[in-house]
């Protein structure tokens, strides 16, 4: 049904869309951090929009007919690739767009996934030195689309490049300020491998490089072991992921939440993490503070949802016993109702 809607929408665009054509060169990017990078390089020749909204999860986004319309009208589509946006090829194909599709990680050596064979970790932007390759690819695509503005785009690129180089040095120095034995970062999903490799911090996440796979009991046990052995004071939730699982782990291990990190989406534009540079700076400050000074907040008390997670943590015989008990209660209630 979803595909039919997209196809129908594109037929409508083909017959009526050109009436609304504007002079600007239209760019569409898959996620907010790439939009911000492009905005730092763009001249007035361009306008840009983003497919996945702020706070959305690009790993498992459901494209809407309005996305297909925007892609169909675009002149340039910017994507991360490395299987970050698994849904985007279908969206691009179904939209019937004539846009140039540019993979902005081109030239970056990807980190292999430790979880999936022959698969790469998509989160290359989490290393500020990789952002230099991202912006070079974006700059080249912009110059190709608006050669008359090449000089202005190049000047924007040079200025932004300087800021990225300074950011990279800033992160390096700040992470080095954490005592070596305390450099352990525990998050919800495995988005920080590039960050950890570049800046020298050990990573441990409950979920893998994609948020599509469910966490297993073995993941919870593994992370809990690292917290205990490493004497880790704080764990960190992520803006695009439900924090309940990590809060439960924090509570079970009597540690706190060091703060909220941003990986797959920027924060609102008015917030400190509302730009790409602001996001990496916010993450770094939060990590440094949480690992040196301890958590900002205690893990929240158990809610009804959390007790389900506790159930997952129980040994199998106990889980069966609890399950049978719950079934008994439900049956008793149903039988009583029938009698009434
Ligand atoms: Zn991710």
Are 253 and 274 members of one domain?
yes
CA of 241 to the centre of ligand 1 (A): 9
CA–CA distance, 151 with 86 (Å, rounded to integer)? 35
CA of 323 to the centre of ligand 1 (A): 34
Are 145 and 249 members of one domain?
no
CA of 315 to the centre of ligand 1 (A): 30
Chain position carrying tokens 């509302």? 274
CA of 121 to the centre of ligand 1 (A): 9
Are 264 and 313 members of one domain?
no
Are 149 and 219 members of one domain?
no
Q: Find out whether 286 and 222 touch, Cβ atoms under 8 Å.
A: no
CA dihedral 104, 165, 262, 195 (to 10 degrees): 90
Are 43 and 95 members of one domain?
yes
Which residues share a beta bridge with 205? Answer: 187
CA of 104 to the centre of ligand 1 (A): 16
Q: What are the pLDDT tens digits along the chain (340 aa)?
A: 555 444 444 444 444 444 344 689 999 999 999 999 999 999 999 999 999 999 999 999 999 999 999 999 999 999 999 999 999 999 999 999 999 999 999 999 999 876 667 789 999 999 999 999 999 999 999 999 999 999 999 999 999 999 999 999 999 999 999 999 999 999 998 899 999 999 999 999 988 877 777 778 888 999 999 999 999 999 999 999 989 989 999 999 999 999 999 999 999 999 999 999 999 999 999 999 999 999 877 665 544 444 444 444 444 555 555 556 656 655 665 666 665 4
Are 278 and 325 members of one domain?
no
Are 38 and 160 members of one domain?
yes
Domain boundary among 112, 138, 171: 171
Are 257 and 329 members of one domain?
no
CA of 11 to the centre of ligand 1 (A): 33
Per DSSP, the residues of 294-338 read --SEEPPPP-HHHHHHHHHHS-HHHHHHHHHHHHHHHHHHHHHHH
Are 256 and 288 members of one domain?
yes
Are 9 and 147 members of one domain?
yes
CA of 304 to the centre of ligand 1 (A): 27
Are 252 and 151 members of one domain?
no
Print the domain residue range for 318.
304-339
CA of 92 to the centre of ligand 1 (A): 21
CA of 14 to the centre of ligand 1 (A): 34
Q: What CATH number is given to the structural domain containing 210?
A: 3.40.50.1980
Helix (H) or strand (E) holding 184: strand 184-189
Domain boundary among 132, 153, 171: 171
CA of 45 to the centre of ligand 1 (A): 32
Are 152 and 9 members of one domain?
yes
What's the predicted TM-score (pTM) here?
A: 0.81
Domain count, the chain: 3
Q: Find out whether 23 and 145 touch, Cβ atoms under 8 Å.
A: no
Domain boundary among 171, 187, 222: 171
CA of 240 to the centre of ligand 1 (A): 9
Quickly list H helices, 146-275.
150-176, 193-199, 217-230, 244-252
């Amino acid at each position: 049904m979803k595909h039919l809607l997209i196809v129908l929408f594109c037929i409508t665009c083909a017959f009526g869309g050109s009436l609304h054509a504007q002079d600007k060169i239209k760019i569409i990017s898959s996620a907010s951090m790439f939009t911000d990078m492009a905005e730092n390089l763009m001249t007035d020749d361009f306008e840009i929009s983003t497919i996945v909204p702020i706070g959305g999860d690009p790993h498992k986004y459901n494209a809407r007919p309005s996305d297909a319309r925007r892609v169909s009208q675009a002149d340039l589509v910017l994507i991360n690739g490395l299987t970050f946006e698994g849904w985007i090829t279908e969206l691009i194909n179904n939209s019937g767009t004539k846009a140039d599709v540019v993979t902005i990680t081109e030239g970056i050596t990807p980190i292999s996934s430790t979880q999936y064979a022959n698969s790469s970790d998509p989160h290359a932007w989490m290393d500020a030195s990789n952002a230099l390759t991202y912006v070079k690819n974006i700059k080249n695509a912009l110059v190709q689309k608006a050669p008359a503005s090449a000089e202005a785009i190049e000047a924007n690129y040079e200025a932004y490049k300087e800021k990225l180089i300074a950011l990279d040095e800033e992160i390096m120095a700040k992470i080095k300020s954490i005592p070596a034995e305390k450099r352990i970062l525990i998050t919800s999903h495995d988005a920080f491998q590039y960050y950890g490799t570049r800046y020298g911090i050990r990573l441990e996440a409950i979920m893998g490089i994609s948020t599509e796979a469910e966490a297993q009991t073995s993941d919870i046990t593994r992370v809990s072991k690292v917290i205990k052995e490493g004497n880790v004071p704080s764990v960190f939730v992520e803006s695009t992921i439900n924090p309940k699982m990590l809060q439960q782990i924090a509570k079970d291990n009597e540690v706190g939440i060091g703060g909220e990190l941003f990986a797959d989406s920027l924060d609102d534009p008015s917030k400190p993490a509302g730009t790409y540079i602001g996001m990496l700076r916010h993450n770094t400050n939060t990590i440094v503070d949480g690992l040196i000074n301890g958590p900002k907040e205690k893990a929240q008390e158990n809610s009804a949802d959390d007790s389900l997670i506790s159930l997952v943590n129980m040994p199998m015989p106990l889980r069966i016993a609890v399950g049978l008990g719950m079934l008994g209660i439900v049956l008793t209630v149903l039988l009583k109702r029938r009698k009434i």
